[in-house]
Amino acid sequence: MTKPYRIFGAEMSPYSVKVRAYFRHKGIPHRWIVRNSATEAEYQQHAKIQIVPLVVTPDDVALQDSTPIVERVETEHPQPSIHPAEPTSAFVSALLEEFGDEWGNKWMFHYRWAREVDQLCSAGRLARAMMPNADEEQHAAMTAMVRERMVGRVWFVGSSAQNAPFIERSFQDALGRLDVHLADRPYLFGGRPAFADFGLWGQIYNAWTDPTPGALIEGRAHHVLAWVQRMFWPRAEGDFESWSSLEPTLMPLLQHQVGRLFMPWTLANAAAVTAGREDFSVVLDGHTWTQKPQKYHAKSLRALRDKYAAVADKGPLDPVLERAGCLAALRG
Ligand SMILES: N[C@@H](CCC(=O)N[C@@H](CS)C(=O)NCC(=O)O)C(=O)O
């Protein structure tokens, strides 16, 4: 019998649970291994960089970085596909996957560390996950350490006093639009989960576990809440829908969040990385956003542009991307 895949991850790591949900949906045999002191030696045997998730294949190949992990495993286990057959839907799904990973992470990370109630809850849970057998005193000390370390890192995703209300408006706007879209279907592209579901879900599920954004989801977005729970172990309930039936409620999310906010942000970020700048500012929907550039995002923008370039027939796709305000940025 072939060995199962091993996924080293953490419940509070959005990229880890994204990959786990993918393996669960595909029915690919795997073991979920929480990265903590007990599993650290095995993790270090395989990890090239110190991040989770780390996936080790049955023949002991180590994979890191959630998007390429899913893409690679998908080529080895192509059925049932997470990519809609219609090329427009397939590309929009890849675009939303990238948006979830990169912009959705700002929502999650900001809310996790902005307010005392979320800081205490998150630091306490992280400390417990790292040292499951700690006594109360050790746990309190570890909680304080984690809290100080993480609160000191929020600037990394652009969370700041200046950007905070803007990030929170973006989250709440997206929740409202997703709730309308998910009122009529179990997953973003219809009856089965697509690439986009996994990327967005990792972030929104993690936000749901924190007090402030969790209350927003539970209070205002019942269809999103049902999707958060469905995606925990996602099962196909039907087929992908046609783009024409998805567009009426998916386009507003693309326009308001992806075209207006994420695309100009990612372009400005990539330009700042290329120019080797210490920080950059960009006007997003009338708000001046300032942060230090994030190197990884320049790389993932290049990968997204490569995916756009590889779409063979752009005839139906380009007008959709134009309406969404995303086309120019993807052409590069
Ligand atoms: N682009 C990577 C991001 C992975 C990532 O940022 N992982 C975080 C946890 S969610 C991590 O391990 N960070 C290392 C650290 O905080 O020390 C992916 O998609 O897998």
User: Which is it for the CA torsion 330, 72, 190, 214, positive or negative?
Assistant: negative
What is the spatial distance between Cα 55 and Cα 168, in angstroms, rounded to a whole number? 32
Q: 287: which 2 tokens?
A: 């708000």
Q: Would you state the pLDDT for residue 1? A: 67
At 163 the three-state DSSP class reads coil
Q: 85: which 2 tokens?
A: 């057959």
**Cα 244 to ligand 1 centroid, rounded to whole Å:** 36
Q: Tell me: the pLDDT tens digits for 20-71?
A: 999 999 999 999 999 998 999 999 999 999 999 999 999 999 999 999 999 9
Verify whether ligand 1 is closer than 6 Å to residue 98 (CB atom): no
Task: Tell which atom from ligand 1 comes closest to the C-alpha of 65.
Answer: 20
178-214 burial by CB neighbour count: b if 16+ within 10 A, else e?
A: bbbbbeebbbbbbebbbbbbbbbbbbbbbbbbbeebb
pLDDT digit string (tens) for the chain, length 332 residues:
689 999 999 999 999 999 999 999 999 999 999 999 899 999 999 999 999 999 999 999 999 999 999 999 999 999 999 999 999 999 999 999 999 999 999 999 999 999 999 999 999 999 999 999 999 999 999 999 999 999 999 999 999 999 999 999 999 999 999 999 999 999 999 999 999 999 999 999 999 999 999 999 999 999 999 999 999 999 999 999 999 999 999 999 999 999 999 999 999 999 999 999 999 999 999 999 999 999 999 999 999 999 999 999 999 999 999 999 999 999 97
Q: Which residue has its alpha carbon closest to ligand 1 atom 13?
A: 51
Strands 5-9, 30-34: pairing is parallel
Q: Which residue has the tokens 């400390």?
A: 127
Q: Which residue has its alpha carbon closest to ligand 1 atom 9?
A: 13
**Cα 254 to ligand 1 centroid, rounded to whole Å:** 25
Substitution candidate for ligand 1 out of 34, 49, 52, 101 with most atoms within 8 A of CB: 52
**Cα 64 to ligand 1 centroid, rounded to whole Å:** 9
